[in-house]
Every structure is written in C-alpha cells, then in structure tokens.
Amino acid sequence: MTQPNSLTADLLCLRGHDMLASGEPGEAAAAFRAAISASEQNTDAHVEAHHGLIRALRDAGQLNEAVGAALALTALTPGDPLAHTALSISLQAAGHVPQAEAAAARARILEWKIQLQSPPGEGRLP
C-alpha cells in the first residue's frame, strides 16, 4: 500500500515535471523541494525529486544552487552514476570545467563497476 507522503511526493514530482515542460523552472523547483520534504521514506521518489530540482535550478539559471543540489544527491546516492552525471552537467553549466570533468570521470567509473558486477547478457560483454 502506498503511504500518504509517498503519494504526495509522487504527485509533487509530477507537478514539477509539468512545470519544467511548461517552461516554469522556478515553480518546478518549489514543487521538487516540496516532494523532497514529503518523500524522505520513499527513496525512489526522493531521488527523482532531487534530479528534478537540479534540472529546475539549472533551467532557472541558479547554477550555484544546482551544483549544491547535485552535491547533495551524490552524498545521498554515492554509487549512482546518474547523480555524478547530474553534478558534472551542473558544474559545466556553472563554468567549473575541471570539476565537471572529474565528476564525469567518477560517473564513468561507477558505470563500469556496475557493468562488471552484472552477469553476462545484462549489460556486460561476454
């Protein structure tokens, strides 16, 4: 059964995505922040809300805030290549090229580790 806060978080994430699609990144960021607050017990929704917030902040031109949100996501999910990719994109947009390249390299390394741990036929070459 879905928890009330989980449902609220999911609905807020949907609203955030709708606002992004409508070209309203400020409103999207507010929805994603609310989803983060409501989703602390639902890891998937929580991570999705963090990714949405990072994108909304970048779209709003709040690049330093986007970097901060991406750093928070990498702390929350240190083994997730997508979190490090989001950090790399945000750092690049903010003009921090060497740090962006380091974050991209970290994402590639994490992806390789995942591939090496997968059985043959599931993303791993024989």
- DSSP letters of the chain? ---HHHHHHHHHHHHHHHHHHTT-HHHHHHHHHHHHHH-TT-HHHHHHHHHHHHHHHHHTT-HHHHHHHHHHHHHHSTT-HHHHHHHHHHHHHTT-HHHHHHHHHHHHHHHHHHHHHSPTTSSS--
Residue 5 has pLDDT above 70, yes or no: no
Least confident among 21-25, 40-44, 109-113: 40-44
How high is the pLDDT of residue 1?
38
DSSP letter, residue 22: T
Q: pTM value?
A: 0.85
pLDDT band at 121 (very low <50, low <70, confident <90, very high): low
Q: What is the mean pLDDT of the chain?
A: 90
Average pLDDT (74-92) is 96
More confident residue, 8 or 63: 63
| Chain centre to alpha carbon of residue 117 | 23
